[in-house]
Amino acid sequence: MGCSSKPEALVKQAIRAGLSDGWGGSMMGTEFSDVLFGTPKPVETEANLGVMVEENVNIVVHGHDPSLSEMICEVADSPEMVAYAKEMGAKGITISGVCCTSNEVAMRRGIPMAGNFLQQENVVLTGACEAIVVDVQCIFPALGPLSKCFHTKFITTSPIAQMPDSEFIRFDAHSALEKATQIVKTAIENFKNRKPELVYIPQMKQKATVGYSTEAIVKALDGVANTQVDELGTTKPLLQCITSGVLRGAVAMVGCNNPKVRPDLAHIELMKKMLANDIIVIASGCSAQAAAKAGLMDKAAKDICGDGLKRVCELADIPPVLHMGSCVDISRMLVLAATLAKDAGLHISQLPVVGCAPEWMSEKAVSIGNYVIGSGIDTFLGVDPYASGSSEMVEILTNGTREWCEAAFTVEKDIEKLGDAMMARIEEKRAALGI
């Protein structure tokens, strides 16, 4: 109260906060998760509501803390729990996920992804969800009242994210196994309360290859390396593809679903436009799940790509949209950009790379956006930020920040025009490099 009110000072401090949140907090979240649970590598999985199995106990994990979901997966895989589920009348146990905790267990365990942010209520509406287990962030308070309309147990686990009409089972590291066992048993014992007449699981699902950490991408690039020119174990084969024009550039697609626009549409249409124009896409968070549900993380999706990107996908044996993880894993994208810049002898801001959050919604998206432009990567938004009431603030965010960090925001609600603007910026970057 009563501190900075000068627009330039406010924006500069917001970018500083974004940089510290990204290169500090987000980076630590990613690194610690990899230390605890393993660095992701490509794994096959499936996405959309059809991953739920009618004959099984269905447990859906939702939120952002991989320690909870990892332990639930560990317990649910045990022979004792599977036997208990059969004793209760089920054929087995199916774990699936929603939002970022889903991305975490998908890329490490191949756990299927039931959906992203605006699909979380749908898992309950199937009538086949014994328990939806949540930790923090992006959780609809409406899940409580909705679950009461079915047999579903809505289980909250964090003291900072308690909600009405939920069953609270506090989860912490010291009693992780005990609490995870309690949660899984609660779900199994709830199977008998299911109302068969209310069960309807849409038979919709798509294959997806997920788990492309920076390390996994570098390894995949060895498949396209010219061993007489390129060094193995580096990003140089990708740089060679970009320099030669086989690939025009890359887009980091991130962000939420926003109830103000049709869910997933902007993500999917923009991705298809990029792929057709030989621009590879890396994705995280809800954007990644949108791609998975649309089949864009299936290796067969190479057939909708331009000739250059299709060839790269075939040589590297990758899908054209690379799954890099959850929201916190935006740090993986920036590490990849930094590695590319280092291998090319350039600044990050010179790379033919842009960021895009076409359906952003969450407050963390503001911080992530500032992290990305603060690092030198232009960021394209499909939903207006809450700043358009000030023409001065709009000018700073869409142009003025270039003086400080060589990047800025672009806002365009027309998807086709947003895609054109992204491609134009990539071509400007290429022209500046003389490639």
Q: What are phi and psi of 248, to 5 degrees?
A: -85, -25
Half-sphere exposure of 61 (CA within 13 A, CB side): 29
Query: Both 165 and 66 in a single domain?
Result: yes
pLDDT value at residue 230:
60
Residue 91 carries which DSSP code? Answer: S
The answer to whether residue 37 sits within a structural domain is: no
Whether residue 98 sits in one domain with residue 53? yes
Residue 41 lies in a domain: no
Tell me if 318 sits within 8 A of 282, measured CB to CB. no
Q: What is the pLDDT of residues 300-316, one digit of tens each?
A: 999 999 999 999 999 99
Our CA angle for 394, 334, 115, nearest 5°, is: 85
Q: What gap in Å lies between CA 256 and CA 359, rounded to an integer? A: 6
DSSP-derived letter for residue 210 is E
> What SS3 class is residue 133?
strand
- Please say which residue of 174, 198, 222 terminates a domain: 198
Chain CA centroid to CA 306, Å: 24
Question: Do 104 and 31 meet the contact criterion of CB atoms below 8 Å apart?
Answer: no
The answer to whether residue 248 is domain-embedded is yes
**Does some domain include residue 338?**
yes
150 touches 127 (CB < 8 A): yes
Which residues pair with residue 60 across a beta bridge? 96, 132
pTM, rounded to two decimals: 0.96
Under a CB-based contact definition with an 8 Å cutoff, are residues 322 and 153 in contact? no
Residue 180 lies inside a defined structural domain of this protein: yes
**DSSP per-residue codes, 255-267:** ----TTS-TTHHH
Q: Are residues 79 and 157 in the same domain?
A: yes
- Which contiguous run of DSSP H or E holds residue 244? helix 236-244
Q: Please provide the distance, in angstroms rounded to a whole number, between the alpha carbons at the two ends of the chain.
A: 50
**How far is Cα 433 from Cα 435, in angstroms, rounded to an integer?**
6
> Taking a C-beta distance cutoff of 8 angstroms, is the pair 278, 309 a contact?
yes
CATH of the domain at 168: 3.40.50.2030
Render 148-176 in DSSP notation, one character per residue: HTSS-EEEE--TTS--TT-EE----GGGH
Enumerate residue ranges in the chain where pLDDT < 70.
Answer: 226-230
Distance between CA atoms of residues 36 and 334, nearest Å: 21
For residue 229, what pLDDT is reported? 62
Report d(CA 55, CA 28) in Å as an integer. 40
- Whether 279 and 355 share a structural domain: yes
3-state class (DSSP) for residue 379: strand
Do residues 426 and 248 lie in contact, with contact meaning Cβ atoms separated by under 8 Å?
yes
Same domain, 270 and 233: yes
Nearest CA among 249, 254, 271 for reference residue 415: 271
Supply the range of the domain harboring residue 182: 49-198
Mark which of 163, 198, 233 sits at the end of a domain.
Answer: 198
Sequence-distant (≥ 6) Cβ neighbours of residue 19 within 8 angstroms: 370, 371, 374, 375
Domain termination site, one of 181, 198, 215: 198
Same domain, 191 and 213: no
Residue 34 covered by a domain:
no
Per-residue pLDDT, 222: 86
| C-alpha to C-alpha distance for 270 and 103, rounded to whole angstroms | 21
DSSP classification of residue 400? I
Question: Same structural domain for residues 116 and 232?
Answer: no
Please check whether residue 392 lies inside any domain of the structure: yes
240 shares its domain with 145: no
Residues 263 and 188 in one domain: no
Residues 14 and 96 in one domain: no
Number of domains in the chain: 2
249, β-bridge pairs: 279
**Residues 417 and 300 both lie in one domain:** yes
Beta strand pairing status for 131-134 and 113-115? unpaired
DSSP secondary structure string for all residues of 323-335: EEESGGGHHHHHH
- Residue 307 host element (H or E): helix 307-316
C-alpha span between 286 and 259 (Å, rounded): 13
pLDDT score at 227 = 62
pLDDT 10s digits, 116-142: 999 999 999 999 999 999 999 999 999
Which residue from 94, 96, 122, 88 is spatially nearest to 193, judged by alpha carbons?
88
| Ordered DSSP codes for 30-50 | HHHHHHHH-----EEEEESGG
Q: Fill in the amino acid letter for 108.
A: R
Bridge partner residues of 411 (DSSP)? 381
In a domain, 192, yes or no: yes
Q: How far apart are CA 309 and CA 82, in angstroms?
A: 43
Strand 206-210 and strand 43-47: pairing?
Answer: antiparallel
- 56 and 143 assigned to the same domain: yes
